[in-house]
Chains A and B, each alone.
Chain A
Amino acid sequence: AQSVTQPDIHITVSEGASLELRCNYSYGATPYLFWYVQSPGQGLQLLLKYFSGDTLVQGIKGFEAEFKRSQSSFNLRKPSVHWSDAAEYFCAVGPWTSGTYKYIFGTGTRLKVLA
């Protein structure tokens, strides 16, 4: 069955430190991959997506993610975290075939940023 695993429920980092959020997926073919962020009171905002091509994807707010087929991973990174990055982050895959376009989400990682 298709699934997405985000092994870290909570992560705390200091402002200015680097960040890596992990995401692993289970799917037989190459999926379409996404990272979304939800800030308090806001909807899910797309940070970046991978459909094909270059496996290192640049997103908004200084985030990037790397698709590693051999590890079935799509980890999110940021070199220097800002206090405003405190939010919940969701990895999602779109194992899309004809007729169905639903996302499968991980359980989310809540990021806390220390001043």
Chain B
Amino acid sequence: EAGVTQFPSHSVIEKGQTVTLRCDPISGHDNLYWYRRVMGKEIKFLLHFVKESKQDESGMPNNRFLAERTGGTYSTLKVQPAELEDSGVYFCASSQEVGINEQYFGPGTRLTVT
């Protein structure tokens, strides 16, 4: 069984540009989460999808970030326009059921904004 995959693994963009990150969860997992780790800090929650619906988006930093999960399968996270402080590692995770169960994480996308 394939794990959570993320694309690209690394992206370098200039301030003001747009970047789209993609996450493919484990097949059959209805729950998809996005997290971000800014260098030297803790991994922080961004949002949670249940199928195609946003269950919790309390961690989204501002309206430059747009997450979608059309059809309830893969998800994209778009940053537009990117700022320097958006640099970090973006993790995606998925879980089979809502509730008390573990989340399976992908390898992350390292975003560098110059």
Binding site for B on A (CB under 8 A): 4, 32, 34, 36, 41-46, 49, 51, 90, 92, 94, 96, 99-108
Contact = CB atoms under 8 A, between A and B. Distances in A.
B43 A49 contact: no
B40 to A, nearest CB: 7
A98 B103 CA distance: 17
A44 B91 contact: yes
Closest 8 CB pairs of A and B: A44-B105, A102-B45, A105-B43, A43-B107, A43-B105, A107-B42, A105-B42, A43-B106
Interface in B91-112: 91, 93, 95, 98-100, 102-108
Contacts of B108: 43
A51 B33 CA distance: 20
Given A99-B55, A101-B31, A46 B45 contact: no
B100 A32 contact: yes
B29 interface: no
B14 interface: no
A101 to B, nearest CB: 6
Given A90-B43, A101-B48, A96 B107 contact: no
A34 B48 CA distance: 19
A44 B100 CA distance: 18
Given A90-B43, A101-B48, A43 B103 contact: no
Nearest to A92: B43
